[in-house]
């Protein structure tokens, strides 16, 4: 009698966790409705645009070529005024093997004194993750300056510059082996974190996160936003004057959040996301070949806290595959995807 | 040994049922991202607008008061140019205390001479009645007749296909509590579609539908669309010469679809929806008073079949509580709710409909 009630309790608990895991996978989500803020068109039909950033004047820089095991990468520039896309030339190219391999998150820093613009790009050469530093010396040219690496860099995802050669960077996975990474993800291990690189070395400022993906900072520099991909949450950290981070708040967004873009005039966040977990998690090992849906959310902020979440774009994967980043510039929404198209939509209405 | 197998099998079946039921009631679904096609405002803050329909000249008429008491139902008229809403005056109303109790679905019919008739489903305590009016200028409704039939019970919505001829959704079998609640909660499919030919009704789909709710017709009058609320599906029925219906297709919308409005030029469907089933059940049973979110979906049609579904409006319930119907007229989206607000949004962008029909 006691044995059977123990069995029942065990079964019940197992069933409960099964239901929780099934919910996490979004197993029962059948329909993705189309949402569009205005007419949309492709700026690029392929090549990938994992991260997109607006550097001013309607110029969007694009990180192109993220792929597990990729050996190369490119940085492109889209001019929103002319719709032209060019691949930037690299001056002083170090001619290293796997120089921009699997190029991933990018961020820029404008020096207030010299006016020079520095671009930091996260790359995944097979030996170790490296951040390559460039100066943008012309609208079509990047001059290579130096390479930043650190023993604490495992498999990183995105970064945000807060000073010359100073940045916060998300540690996505502990392992650098694709199968182990898949296990970290599906077993929902808290092996991720956030590091701060002070110009010379990195130190961990946040630990025990489940795959922190995008990272960015409020216009006043006081709050650091982290997209915790695997828990489907947006995290807010207050930044102190030693650059340490303290958790302020978290918001459950019910979708796997990817890169974060901050609108410098309103403080709004534009975050691209993956609404169906079982589909996007399959993109690591590609067993099933799903069509990955796309989504862009706008987080309206008040005092650096979330006041409302709007869905600006949604597609079931037939028009846009696996959106990873979005930015709002010149009345247009630019949406980047992992390995496919780059889309530009007019935004005919943006609420106050 | 057999005992063991039986135990495992029962556990398996029970688990499958729990999973299916849990998915159906949207157990864990809390999230609604706001979607708005343009600036929105509330043109009515209360009273409800369970069904709405466009009658031309920038006027949308509204069936209001399904949550009110005996005789307190009202038909209102919204002028899209001024955003003013007025109660329509009824001339020649029968001397009944329960006249216009709990108005529900409405439909209009324009005859060859250009006269427009309005049909309103009402739910007085003793029986369901369809009240027939002639629409006159200055927001006046001239009462014409009342239509009843012993089988025309538990009606939800109707669509007129001729003068005093219409299809009706009979959404539930049991009229009263607690049997009607049990019927819904146990997912019974005892709803039907009826056809009234001007004199009497006959069932065209006698049973087997799970809470058929909204009903409407394609611009070419050949396809009848039905919202199967209980299964979260949109159904299409071919209409034959003798007004019989045969099932053409069903489309899984994954949200509880309510009333349907059809754009006469593009054939697009505009449907008010309830995204979280649990909350709808809670509202029906006056349980915990959970907030009902709102959602409007636009279905682009090709050859009277669904070609794509767009979400045009979504709200967590703070601006609009429990959307039931929506219609799109000249760049404006009008959205009704069961017992609360009516919202009008400007639509700054509408993607083009497929050019067919």
Are A210 and A317 spatial neighbours (Cβ–Cβ below 8 Å)? no
Would you state the pLDDT for residue A138? 93
Q: What is the mean pLDDT of residues A13-36?
A: 95
Q: What is the mean pLDDT of residues B66-76?
A: 92
Interface check for A297 against chain B (CB to CB < 8 A): the answer is yes
pLDDT of residue B357 exceeding 50, the answer is no
Query: If 0-12 CB within 10 Å is exposed, 13-18 middle and 19+ buried, where does residue B22 land?
Result: middle
Joined together, the tokens standing for residue B89 give 């005056």
Tell me the per-residue pLDDT of A249-295, one tens digit each, with 9 for 90 and over: 999 999 999 999 999 999 999 999 999 999 999 999 889 989 999 99
Q: Which of B18, B23, B308 sits opposite A28 (nearest CB)?
A: B23
Interface check for B37 against chain A (CB to CB < 8 A): the answer is yes
Cβ <8 Å between B310 and A348: no
Q: Give dist(CA B102, CA B75) in Å, integer.
A: 11
The mean pLDDT value of chain A amounts to 95
Interface check for A30 against chain B (CB to CB < 8 A): the answer is yes
Query: If 0-12 CB within 10 Å is exposed, 13-18 middle and 19+ buried, where does residue A264 land?
Result: exposed
Would you state the pLDDT for residue A8? 84
Are A300 and A287 spatial neighbours (Cβ–Cβ below 8 Å)? no
Q: Give dist(CA B96, CA A3) in Å, integer.
A: 68
Chain B CB contacts of A308 under 8 Å are 34
Q: Give dist(CA A335, CA A327) in Å, integer.
A: 7
Mutate to test the interface with A, among B19, B20, B277, B349 (most CBs of A within 10 A): B349
Cβ <8 Å between B23 and A11: no
In A232-261, the residues whose Cβ lies within 8 Å of chain B are 252-254
pLDDT of residue B208 exceeding 90, the answer is yes
Joined together, the tokens standing for residue A103 give 């190029």
Listed as own residue / partner, the contacts of B182-189 with beta carbons closer than 8 Å and 24 or more positions apart are B184/B211, B184/B230, B184/B281, B184/B284, B185/B281, B187/B21, B187/B24, B187/B230, B189/B230, B189/B231
Interface check for B38 against chain A (CB to CB < 8 A): the answer is yes
Would you state the pLDDT for residue B11? 87
pLDDT of residue A69 exceeding 90, the answer is no
Cβ <8 Å between B252 and A15: no
Cα–Cα nearest to A256, from A236, A240, A280: A280
Q: What does the H/E/C string look like for A175-229?
A: CCCHHHHHHHHHCCCCCEEEEEECCCCEEEEEEEECCEEEEEECCCCCEEEEEEH
Chain B CB contacts of A35 under 8 Å are 35, 310-311
Joined together, the tokens standing for residue A266 give 């309103």
Q: What is the mean pLDDT of residues A218-236?
A: 97
Joined together, the tokens standing for residue A210 give 């489940």
Cβ <8 Å between B34 and A308: yes
Give pTM, 2 decimals: 0.94
Would you state the pLDDT for residue A68? 86
Interface check for B350 against chain A (CB to CB < 8 A): the answer is no
Cβ <8 Å between A34 and B349: no
Residue B137: count other Cβ atoms within 10 Å of its Cβ.
6
In A196-235, the residues whose Cβ lies within 8 Å of chain B are none
CA distance B9 to chain A (A): 14
Residue tagged 């990047």 (tokens): A142
Q: Which of B11, B22, B37 sits opposite A349 (nearest CB)?
A: B37
pLDDT of residue B356 exceeding 60, the answer is no
Q: What is the mean pLDDT of residues A39-64?
A: 94
What are the b/e assignments for A294-331, b being 16+ CB within 10 Å? Answer: bbbbbbbbeebebeebbbbbbbbbebbbbbbbbbbbee
Tell me the per-residue pLDDT of A127-136, one tens digit each, with 9 for 90 and over: 999 999 999 9
B104 an active-site residue? yes
Residue A138: count other Cβ atoms within 10 Å of its Cβ.
10
Q: Give dist(CA A89, CA B349) in Å, integer.
A: 38
Are A161 and A107 spatial neighbours (Cβ–Cβ below 8 Å)? yes
Give the pLDDT band (50/70/90) at residue B355.
low
Active-site hit among B104, B123, B173, B274: B104
pLDDT of residue A115 exceeding 80, the answer is yes
Task: Kindly calculate the radius of gyration of chain B based on its CA atoms and give it in whole angstroms.
Answer: 20
Distances (CA, A) of B126 to A132, B122, B148: 79, 11, 12
ipTM comes to 0.93
pLDDT of residue A117 exceeding 60, the answer is yes
CA distance A351 to chain B (A): 7
Are A234 and A257 spatial neighbours (Cβ–Cβ below 8 Å)? yes
pLDDT of residue B258 exceeding 90, the answer is yes
The mean pLDDT value of chain B amounts to 94
Q: What is the mean pLDDT of residues A29-40?
A: 95
Are A165 and A147 spatial neighbours (Cβ–Cβ below 8 Å)? no
For residue A4, give the H/E element and its range. helix A2-24
Cβ <8 Å between B15 and A351: no
Joined together, the tokens standing for residue A133 give 């530093």
Q: Nearest residue on chain A to B296, judged by CA atoms? A: A33
Write down how long chain B is.
357
Joined together, the tokens standing for residue A338 give 């992992």
pLDDT of residue A189 exceeding 90, the answer is yes
Bridge partners for B305 per DSSP: B302
Are A154 and A129 spatial neighbours (Cβ–Cβ below 8 Å)? yes
């Amino acid at each position: 009698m006691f044995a059977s009630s123990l069995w029942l309790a065990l079964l019940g608990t197992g069933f409960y966790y099964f239901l929780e895991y099934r919910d996490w996978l979004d197993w029962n989500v059948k329909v993705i409705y189309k949402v569009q803020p205005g007419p949309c068109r492709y700026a690029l039909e392929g090549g990938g645009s994992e991260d997109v950033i607006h550097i001013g004047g309607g110029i969007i820089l694009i990180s192109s070529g993220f792929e597990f095991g990729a050996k190369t990468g490119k940085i492109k520039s889209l001019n929103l005024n002319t719709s032209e896309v060019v691949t930037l030339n690299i001056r002083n190219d170090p001619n290293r093997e796997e120089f921009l391999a699997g190029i991933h998150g990018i961020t820029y820093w404008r020096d207030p004194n010299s006016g020079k613009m520095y671009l930091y790009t996260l790359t995944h050469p097979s030996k170790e993750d490296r951040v390559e530093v460039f100066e943008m010396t012309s609208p079509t040219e990047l001059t290579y300056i130096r390479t930043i690496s650190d023993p604490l860099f495992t498999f990183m995802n995105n970064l945000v510059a807060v000073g010359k050669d100073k940045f916060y960077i998300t540690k996505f996975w502990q392992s650098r082996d694709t199968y182990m990474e898949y296990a970290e993800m599906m077993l929902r291990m808290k092996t991720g974190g956030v590091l701060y690189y002070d110009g010379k070395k990195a130190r961990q400022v946040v630990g025990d996160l489940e795959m922190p993906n995008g990272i960015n900072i409020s216009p006043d520099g006081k709050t650091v936003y982290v997209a915790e991909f695997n828990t489907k949450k947006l995290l807010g950290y207050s930044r102190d004057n030693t650059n340490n981070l303290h958790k302020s708040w978290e918001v459950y967004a019910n979708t796997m959040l990817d890169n974060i873009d901050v609108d410098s005039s309103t403080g709004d966040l534009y975050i691209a996301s993956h609404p169906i977990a079982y589909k996007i998690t399959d993109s690591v090992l590609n067993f099933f070949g799903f069509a990955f849906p796309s989504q862009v959310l706008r987080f309206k902020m008040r005092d650096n806290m979330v006041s409302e979440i709007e869905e600006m774009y949604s597609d079931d994967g037939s028009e846009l595959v696996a959106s990873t980043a979005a930015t709002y510039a010149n009345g247009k929404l630019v949406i980047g995807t992992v390995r496919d198209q780059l889309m530009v939509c007019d935004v005919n209405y943006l609420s106050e | 040994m057999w005992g063991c197998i039986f135990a495992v099998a029962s556990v398996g079946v029970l688990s499958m049922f729990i999973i299916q039921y849990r998915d159906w009631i949207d157990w864990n679904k809390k999230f609604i991202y706001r979607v708005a096609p343009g600036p929105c405002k509330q043109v009515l803050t209360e009273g409800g607008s369970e069904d709405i329909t466009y009658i031309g000249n920038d006027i949308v008429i509204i069936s209001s008061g399904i949550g009110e008491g005996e005789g307190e139902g009202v038909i209102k008229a919204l002028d899209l140019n001024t955003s003013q809403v007025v109660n329509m005056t009824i001339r020649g109303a029968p001397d009944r205390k329960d006249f216009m109790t709990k108005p529900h679905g409405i439909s209009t019919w324009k005859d060859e001479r250009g006269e427009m008739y309005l049909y309103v489903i009402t739910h007085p305590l003793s029986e369901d009645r369809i009240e027939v009016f002639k629409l006159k200028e200055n927001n006046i409704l001239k009462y014409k007749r009342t239509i009843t039939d012993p089988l025309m019970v538990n009606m939800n919505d109707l669509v007129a296909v001729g003068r005093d001829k219409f299809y009706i959704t009979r959404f539930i079998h049991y009229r009263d509590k607690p049997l009607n609640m049990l019927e819904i909660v146990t997912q019974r499919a005892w709803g039907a579609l009826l056809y009234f030919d001007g004199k009497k009704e006959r069932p065209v789909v006698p049973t087997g539908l799970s809470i058929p709710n909204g009903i409407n017709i394609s611009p070419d009058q050949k396809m009848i669309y039905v919202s199967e609320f209980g299964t979260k599906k949109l159904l299409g029925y071919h209409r034959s010469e003798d007004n019989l219906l045969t099932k053409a297709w069903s489309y899984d919308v994954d949200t509880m679809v309510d009333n349907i409005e059809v754009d006469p030029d593009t054939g697009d469907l505009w449907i008010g929806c309830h995204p979280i089933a649990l909350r709808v059940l809670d509202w029906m049973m006056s349980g915990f008073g959970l907030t009902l979110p709102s959602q409007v979906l636009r279905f682009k049609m090709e050859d009277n079949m669904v070609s794509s579904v767009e979400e045009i409006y979504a709200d967590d319930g703070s601006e609009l509580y429990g959307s039931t119907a929506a219609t799109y007229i000249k760049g404006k989206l009008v959205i009704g709710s069961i017992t609360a607000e009516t919202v009008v949004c400007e639509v700054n962008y509408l993607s083009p409909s497929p050019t067919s029909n």
